[in-house]
Structure 1
Amino acid sequence: MKNNLKTAVILAGIGGLMIIVGGAIGGTGGAAIGMAIGFVFVGGSYWFSDKLAIKSAKAVEVSAEQMPRYHAIVADLAQRADMPMPRLYVSPDPQPNAFATGRSPQHAAVCVNQGILDVLTWEELQGVLAHEISHVRNRDILISSVAAAVAMGITFLARMAMWGAMFGGGNRDRRGGLLGTLALVILAPMAALFLQKALSRSREYEADRSGARLLGDGEPLARALEKLDRGTKLIPSTVNPAQAGAYIANPLASQLAGGGQKASLSARFSTTHPPMEDRIARLRSGEWRN
C-alpha cells in the first residue's frame, strides 16, 4: 500500500511537471498541449512498452524445446506466484543482465542477456528470474514504463519550450519570461529524472524482497547480484538510457565505474538502481522475511 501510494504521488508529480512545461510554451493552451502529449506518451507506453523494450534489446523469443531449463524455472516461479506464464526471450548482449516488460501479468515478457547465461549458475539465475517475476506480479513494469514515457514527454516539451523561447521574440518585456523558460527547460527534465530514480529504487528493493520470499531463500539472488555488479562494471552495453531502469542491474555501470570525465552525462543521470552492496546486505540479513 505504501509503495502504491508513493507511485501515485510520483506519477502525479511527473504529470504536473509536464503541464507546467507545456504552460511555459503557450500559457493555458500550452498546458493543454502538455497534457495531451502526456496522454499520448502514457498510452503508447501502456500498449507498446513490451515490444519497444524487446526490440531495443534485439531479443528473440525462445521455446521450451530450445531452452527447457529456462522455461521450467520460470513456469515453476509463475505457478508459485499464481500468475500466467510470461513469454521468454534472450538478448545477444554479452553484459550479464535481465529485465521484465509488459503492461500486465497477462501480457508480460522476461528477457535475459546471453551474458547472464554465461556467468550464473542455474540456482543463481533462478534468483534473478524470481526477482523479475516479482516485478511482473507487483505490476511494477507498467508503472515504471509509464513514468519513463512521461519523463520522455517532459524532455520533449522542454525542448519545444527552448525553441519557442529562442524564436518567440526578444523585446525587453519578454526577457524575464525568456530566462524563466530557459530555467524550466533545464530543471524540468532533471526533476523528472529524480522522480524516476525514487520510483525505480523503491521497486527494486521490493522485487528483491518478493523474489526471496518466492524462493524462500535470499542467497541465490544475493550471489547473482554480486556477479552482476562485477559484470556490468566490466562489460559495456548499448542499452538506451531510457530503458536502463528496467534492468535488474544498471546496464550503464561500466560508464560510471571509471568516474570523473569518463562517465557520460546520460550514465550519470541514469543511476536509477539502489547500491548493490545495500541490496545484497538486505537479502543476506533476512529482512525479506519481515
Structure 2
Amino acid sequence: MTRTRFAADRGLTGRMVLTLFLIGLLYVAFVAVLIALGARALTVLALALVLLVVQYFLSDKIALYAMNGREVTPQQAPELHGAIDRLCAMADMPKPKVAIADSDVPNAFATGHSQKKSVVCVTTGLLRRLEPDELEGVLAHEMSHVAHRDVVVMTIASFLGIVAGLMTRFALYSGLARGRDSRGGPPIGLIIMLVSGLVYALSFVLTRALSRYRELAADRAAALLTQRPSALAGALTKVSGEMGRIPTRDLRRAEPFNAFFFAPALSSGASLAALLSTHPPLERRLRQLAEISAQLGRGA
C-alpha cells in the first residue's frame, strides 16, 4: 500500500484486524461445509467470486451511477478541487477523481479499489450547507478511506455475506430444502439453508462492526491531518441535524448507500439498531473528536 501522512490508529486497527480474522475463520468453516455438501454449492461459490471481482474493479463506476454522480473538472468546481488539492499535498497522496451528485441529502462518499482509481463524491446538498473548513474536514475523512484502502477491506469482508445470502436463496428457491439425499439421510438443502442463514447473520454483524471501526479511524485520521477536529465535529453535527429536514422518501432512497456515506441517511439510537449500524453513534464520534481537540491543546 502506498504510504501517506494520514495518521494510523493502532487501537482501531487492532480491532479491525481481529474482526477480519473472525470473518476469515467463519469463511474457512463455511467453505468446508460447502465442499462437504457437493458441487452445486461450489457453483454458487464461484458465482459469488465473480460478483466480488466485478464489485472490486467497478466499485467507483457502480457507486457514481447509483448516486447519479458526475465527475467534475477544476473549472466546474474550483473550490472543491482546491480543497482536495490541499489535502492531497498535506497527505502526500495521489489526487482522486472528483465528483458531485445532484442530491439534497447532505453527504459524501469515497470509493475505488486503489488510490489511483479512487473517486471522492459530494452531494450538492452538502456543498450548500457546509462552511469551507467543515467541507475540508469531510473531504479529509473520505480521503482517509481512500488512503487506508477501506473500500477494498469492506469489499473482501462482505464477500462471505454475499456467498451465504446466495446459498440461502439457492436452497430456498431450488426446492433443495424439501428434498433428502439419495440414501434417505437428512435434507442437504435444508442444512445448506440453515448453515447459510447462520453464517450470513454472523458475517453481517461482524462486517457492520468493521464498518463502524473504519468510520472512527477515518474521523481520527482526518482530524489529525487537518489539525481542526472541531471543524469535522461541526460538519457531523450539522449534517446529522439537517437529515431531519430531508423528506423521508429521499432518505430511504439513499439508505442503501449508508456504508459508503460520511454519515448515515437514516439511523436509530436503539441499542440493537446501533449494533447493526454501518456508523458509530454521533455522540461516540463527537466524543472522540473532543478528545483529539484536548490532545492538540484546543477547545472542543
Same fold by TM-score greater than 0.5: yes
Q: Secondary structure at the match of 2:92?
A: coil
Contact kept in structure 2, 1:94 and 1:115, CA below 8 Å: yes
User: Paired residue for 2:165?
Assistant: 155
Question: Compared with structure 1, are the counterparts of its residues 206 and 43 closer, same or farther at alpha carbon in structure 2 (3 Å cutoff)?
Answer: same
Partner Cα distance (1:206, 1:16) in 2: 28
Question: Compared with structure 1, are the counterparts of its residues 233 and 176 closer, same or farther at alpha carbon in structure 2 (3 Å cutoff)?
Answer: farther
> Aligned pair 1:251/2:265, yes or no?
yes
Contact kept in structure 1, 2:274 and 2:280, CA below 8 Å: no
Amino acid at match of 2:123: N
Partner Cα distance (1:270, 1:286) in 2: 26
Greater CA drift, 204-213 or 178-187: 178-187
- Map residues 196-215 of structure 1 onto 2, 5 A cutoff: 196-215=207-226
User: Paired residue for 1:263?
Assistant: none
Deviations 1:89-133 (A, max 9, x none): 111121111110000111110011111112211111111001011
Report the number of matched residues: 277
User: Paired residue for 2:179?
Assistant: 169
CA RMSD of aligned residues (A): 2.9
Q: Secondary structure at the match of 2:254?
A: coil
Query: How far apart are residue 141 of structure 1 and its match?
Result: 1.6
Question: Compared with structure 1, are the counterparts of its residues 268 and 80 closer, same or farther at alpha carbon in structure 2 (3 Å cutoff)?
Answer: closer
Contact kept in structure 2, 1:56 and 1:239, CA below 8 Å: no
Question: Compared with structure 1, are the counterparts of its residues 112 and 5 closer, same or farther at alpha carbon in structure 2 (3 Å cutoff)?
Answer: same
Question: Compared with structure 1, are the counterparts of its residues 64 and 238 closer, same or farther at alpha carbon in structure 2 (3 Å cutoff)?
Answer: same
User: Paired residue for 1:9?
Assistant: 21
Partner Cα distance (1:18, 1:96) in 2: 39
Partner Cα distance (1:11, 1:136) in 2: 22
Contact kept in structure 2, 1:49 and 1:145, CA below 8 Å: no
Query: How far apart are residue 52 of structure 1 and its match?
Result: 0.9
Query: How far apart are residue 196 of structure 1 and its match?
Result: 1.1
User: Paired residue for 2:79?
Assistant: 69
Question: Compared with structure 1, are the counterparts of its residues 93 and 159 closer, same or farther at alpha carbon in structure 2 (3 Å cutoff)?
Answer: same
Contact kept in structure 2, 1:45 and 1:146, CA below 8 Å: no
For normalisation by structure 1, the TM-score amounts to 0.83
Contact kept in structure 2, 1:98 and 1:248, CA below 8 Å: yes
1:217 counterpart (200, 208, 228): 228
Partner Cα distance (2:126, 2:178) in 1: 51
Partner Cα distance (2:107, 2:56) in 1: 24
Contact kept in structure 1, 2:179 and 2:189, CA below 8 Å: no
Query: How far apart are residue 21 of structure 1 and its match?
Result: 6.9
User: Paired residue for 1:264?
Assistant: none
| Identity between Structure 1 and Structure 2 (%) | 30
Question: Compared with structure 1, are the counterparts of its residues 97 and 21 closer, same or farther at alpha carbon in structure 2 (3 Å cutoff)?
Answer: farther
| Runs of at least 5 residues in structure 1 that lack an aligned partner in the other structure | 260-266
> Aligned pair 1:19/2:31, yes or no?
yes
